[in-house]
Amino acid sequence: MAIEIERKFLVRGNGWQNQAIGQLYRQGYMHTEDGITLRARVVGDKGYLTIKGPSFNNSRAEYEYEIPFEDAEEMLNSLCSSPLIEKVRYHVYHGKFVWEVDEFVGDNQGLIVAEVELKDENQRVELPEWIGEEVSHDQRYSNFNLSKNPWKNWS
């Protein structure tokens, strides 16, 4: 089984931008239940279909498959709920880790989060100076929930 173990943080300042090159991601979610999510995603000229299981602590099952770009676009346009998640993802190297920094656009404009994938739940990670509050267990920050309740609607 493929397991995703990650921690998520808010980003403060712009110290992460020094060597970051980003790529636009568009993704949407199809009807899900019991904490299982089904996502279509387009990155550049590639399409992906991802199935994720319910979260336990910072871990969950994850299966991702490359699919034809045209199929992914069709899923985003006809099967996924609105609004879609649109973000520019940057890979930022710090210490032994690659951080994925997501700068959201569209309905989540202004939100910037950073995720780091771990090998196990107890792995220690050195936090860069631009890392703010940890939001790993705050489900409002999951992309799935941001598609249902965008950041622009938060008070």
Per-residue pLDDT tens digits for 65-98:
999 999 999 999 999 999 999 999 999 999 999 9
d(CA 23, CA 53): 26
3-state secondary structure of 77: helix
pLDDT digits (tens, 9 = 90+) for 124-139: 999 999 999 999 999 9
pLDDT of residue 55: 87
Average pLDDT along the chain: 94
Q: Which residue has the higher pLDDT, 21 or 149?
A: 149
CB proximity list for 142: less than 8 A, separation 6 or greater: none
Question: Looking at the annotation, which residues are catalytic?
Answer: 29
For the entire predicted model, the pTM comes to: 0.91
pLDDT of residue 1: 64
Res 32 pLDDT > 90? no
Cα dihedral across residues 103, 28, 150, 152: positive or negative: positive
Range of the domain at 123: 3-153
d(CA 144, CA 141): 8
Q: Domain total for the chain?
A: 1
- 136: domain CATH number? 2.40.320.10
Contact predicate 35/155, CB 8 Å: no
